[in-house]
Amino acid sequence: MGFLNAFLEFLGFGIGLPFGLLIGFFLFVYSKPKDVKDPVVRPLHELDTDALLDILPDIPLWVKCPDYERVDWLNKFLLDMWPYLDKAICAMIRSTTKPMFAEYIGKYKIEAIEFEHLTLGTLPPIIQGLKVYETMEKDLVMEPAIRWAGNPNIVLVLQLLSVRLRFQLVDLQIFAAPRVALKPLVPTFPCFANIVVSLMERPHVDFGLKILGGDVMSIPGLYRLVQDMIKKQLASLYLWPQTLDIPVLDASTMVIKKPVGILHVKVVRAKKLLKADILGTSDPFVKLSLTGEKLPAKKTTIKKRNLNPEWNENFKLVVKDPESQVLQLQVFDWDKVGGHDRLGMQFVPLKVLTPRETKEFTLDLLKHTNISDSQDKKQRGQIVLELTYVPFREDSIEFSGPLDGNDGRGSASGRSSSGDESLSGAGLLSVIVQGAEDVEGKNHINPYALVLFRGERKRTKKIKKTRDPRWNEEFQFTLDQPPLHELIRIEVMSKRTSFSFRSKESLGHVEINLDDVVHNGRINQKYHLIDSKNGVIHVEIRWITV
């Protein structure tokens, strides 16, 4: 009976299968296709709650969050550039991982590790929105929302003894919201020195991993374990405030150098100067400057009809590189009409100075910089000066109380200055005028800024026809005492480019109390301009002590 049932089943299958295929073929060939109806499109407000919840994860951030910008142009750019970015990124991955793989060759019976295939696929990441922050610092901070459902083909081959193990990464999906900062901004292409990346939340990473053709991610419990491990590892490395720093410019290529100290110069006297006037005398004065600086030179007073003048005048110069900068000294004969005649010059490299030690120099004046020129052996006299290089304190960011600023340095050669007390109150006040916004003029708008402090007057460049000028100019004041209970005044002016009776016009001003700068070491704020309707000026001020 069992044999008969089996025979009948086999017979029914053998007859029914061809018969069913024949009927299906005729139905497929002779049946008429139905018209495909367009899907029903309804606005969001007509959808019910369940339908909205289904599509909510796919709504881009620029729709849900008003502070995210829509960047379709950037996605189009990535789409067009992706074939080239794919090759460039994969080449970088190969070069980066090659030395890492080499460390494991010979260990754990491993004979070789190499990529059999490495491509990121044809689908680029999609940026769902971009948020840009205004920080008032010299940086650019942005937060892109990135979704990447890619089709990469990454195959890694591990040669273990005589067995080749193939690991294939497939179906990669990454959802992340990194914070990218380009800082600091510098005037050297590409105009930023570093890329700093940090994750603002734990990323979502999903992928398949095939070993010997089988997907190990399908093993119960392993998928969840790998997911948690990846998220935990990435969070420990790059979750804010942890960062990934990618250097772009080498430090030696950055043209901006910050002040590192103050050079105290005391011009004592000169001896046996040349006779430049018809009456057999001269009216000497001295100009001082440091190489590598564009600031105006310092000048002593003029000593009328004196070939052996005594000055005993003190000056402070800001030092940015004590190893390479040189103090330039030029002695001139003052003339009421025409140019001043140079009586002689001399140089002192700052690297010969010992920090915080006063040293006296007696220098023979030269005609020019070529000291090996044997044709000019004319005696031009001597100049005597005292130099003290005082570097800034590393902890000068905070003010520790009243400082004593008596300038009581010794004058003997090689003698140390009388303790830190004599120079402890000195420091550098750095004023950076970044820019202004919404400045208005009745007659013209060609704005520039004036910085007025302790009788000194410094000016930025003029920018034509704009209400939002960007100056980004720094001015420095070397002081004997911290500027406690003092004000610095910054005026925004406009000047007509052509001649006119109303050539200058005030666009507003601000007076800043420097107490906070002294106590905190730095302020970086925007101030509303007085006598301006909507004008704002952005100023950064630093106080660095020696």
- Residue 90 to residue 112: CA distance in whole angstroms: 19
- Planar angle of CA 252, 253, 255, nearest 5 degrees: 100
> Could you report the per-residue pLDDT of 157-182, keeping only the tens digit for each?
888 777 778 888 777 888 888 889 99
- pLDDT level of residue 399 (50, 70, 90 thresholds): very low
Percent of the chain with pLDDT over 70: 75
Nearest to 253 by CA among 178, 296, 192, 323: 192
pLDDT given at position 215: 64
- Which DSSP string do the residues of 415-471 spell out, in sequence order? PBPSTGGGTTT-EEEEEEEEEEES---SS---EEEEEEETTEEEE-----S-SS-EE
Q: Which two tokens stand for residue 421?
A: 């007390």
Residue 354 burial by Cβ neighbours in a 10 Å radius (0-12, 13-18, 19+) = exposed
| Residue 451, pLDDT above cutoff 90 | yes
Min mean pLDDT across 141-155, 451-465, 528-542 is at 141-155
Does position 27 have pLDDT exceeding 60, yes or no?
no
Q: What is the mean pLDDT of the chain?
A: 79
Residue 404: per-residue pLDDT: 36
Helix H or strand E encompassing 144: strand 140-149
- Average pLDDT (10-38) is 57
Residue 476 scores a pLDDT above 80: yes
pLDDT of residue 103: 80
Give rounded-to-5 percent helix, strand, coil for the chain: 20, 40, 40
**pLDDT level of residue 397 (50, 70, 90 thresholds):** very low
- Mean local confidence (pLDDT), 309-315: 93
Cis before residue 469, ω within 30 degrees of 0?
no
pTM, full prediction? 0.61
| pLDDT over threshold 90, residue 49 | no
Average pLDDT, stretch 360-370?
A: 84
**Identity of residue 49:** T
Q: Residue 334: CB partners within 8 Å, gap ≥ 6?
A: 283, 284, 285, 302, 340
Listed residue (202, 208, 204, 203) closest to 151, CA to CA: 208
Query: Which of 31-35, 209-213, 319-323 holds the top average pLDDT?
Result: 319-323
pLDDT at 441 over 70: yes
Position 396 scores a pLDDT of 54
Reading the block at residue 8, the tokens are 């009948």
CB atoms within 10 A of CB 84: 9
pLDDT recorded at residue 149: 86
How does pLDDT run across 274-288, given as a tens digit for each residue? Answer: 887 777 888 899 999
Is residue 261 within 8 Å of 389, Cβ to Cβ? yes
**pLDDT given at position 106:** 76
Residue 58 pLDDT greater than 70, yes or no: no
Better-predicted residue by pLDDT, 3 or 83:
83
Most confident of 161-175, 196-210, 337-351, 518-532: 518-532
Q: Identify the residue with better confidence: 291 or 17.
A: 291
- 377 sits in the region (left: phi over 0; alpha: psi -120 to 50; else beta) called alpha
Residue 216 pLDDT greater than 90, yes or no: no
Per-residue DSSP letter, 218: G
Reported as half-sphere exposure (CB side, CA atoms, 13 A), residue 92 has a value of 7
How much is the average pLDDT of 30-40? 58
Are the C-beta atoms of 175 and 146 separated by less than 8 Å? yes
